[in-house]
Homo-oligomer: A and B are copies of this chain.
Amino acid sequence: MFRVAVAGATGAVGGVMIRVLEERGFPVSELRPLASERSEGRELDYLGKPCRVRRLDEDAFEGIDIALFSAGSPRAKAFAPAAVEAGAVVIDNSSAFRMDPVVPLVVPEVNEEAIAGHSGIIANPNCVAAPLVVALKPIADAVGLERVVLSSYQSVSGTGAAAIDELRAQTAGALAGSEPEPEVYPHPIAFNVLPHIDTFGDDGYTGEETKVANETRKMMGLPDLRVSATCVRVPVYYGHSESVQIETTERLTAEQARNLLMGAPGLVVIDEPGLNRYPLARDAAGRDEVFVGRIREDSSHPRGLALWIVADNLRKGAATNAVQIAESLVTKGWL
Binding site for B on A (CB under 8 A): 147-149, 151, 153, 168, 171-172, 175, 186-188, 191-196, 200, 203-206, 213, 226-228, 230, 232, 234-237, 241, 243, 245, 254, 273-274, 276, 278-282, 293-301, 304, 306, 308
Q: How far is the CB of A205 from chain B (nearest CB, A)?
A: 6
Q: How many angstroms from the CA of A281 to the CA of B235 in the assembled complex? A: 12
- The chain B residue sitting closest to A247, CB to CB, is B300
Whether A193 pairs with B300 at a CB distance below 8 angstroms is no
Whether B186 pairs with A276 at a CB distance below 8 angstroms is yes
| 6 sampled A-B residue pairs with Cβ under 8 A | A171-B175, A195-B308, A203-B297, A204-B297, A230-B308, A235-B235
The 6 nearest A-B residue pairs measured at CB: A204-B296, A151-B151, A226-B300, A151-B243, A228-B300, A186-B276
Whether A195 pairs with B278 at a CB distance below 8 angstroms is yes
Q: How far is the CB of A87 from chain B (nearest CB, A)?
A: 41
Q: How far is the CB of A157 from chain B (nearest CB, A)?
A: 11
- The chain B residue sitting closest to A308, CB to CB, is B195
Chain B residues, Cβ within 8 Å of A279: 195
Q: How many angstroms from the CA of A251 to the CA of B300 in the assembled complex? A: 19
Chain B residues, Cβ within 8 Å of A228: 245, 298-301, 304, 306
- The chain B residue sitting closest to A213, CB to CB, is B299
Q: How many angstroms from the CA of A280 to the CA of B204 in the assembled complex? A: 17
Chain B residues, Cβ within 8 Å of A278: 195-196
Whether A280 pairs with B226 at a CB distance below 8 angstroms is no
Whether B294 pairs with A204 at a CB distance below 8 angstroms is yes
Q: How many angstroms from the CA of A188 to the CA of B195 in the assembled complex? A: 23
Q: How many angstroms from the CA of A18 to the CA of B55 in the assembled complex? A: 63
- The chain B residue sitting closest to A194, CB to CB, is B280
Chain B residues, Cβ within 8 Å of A200: 273-274
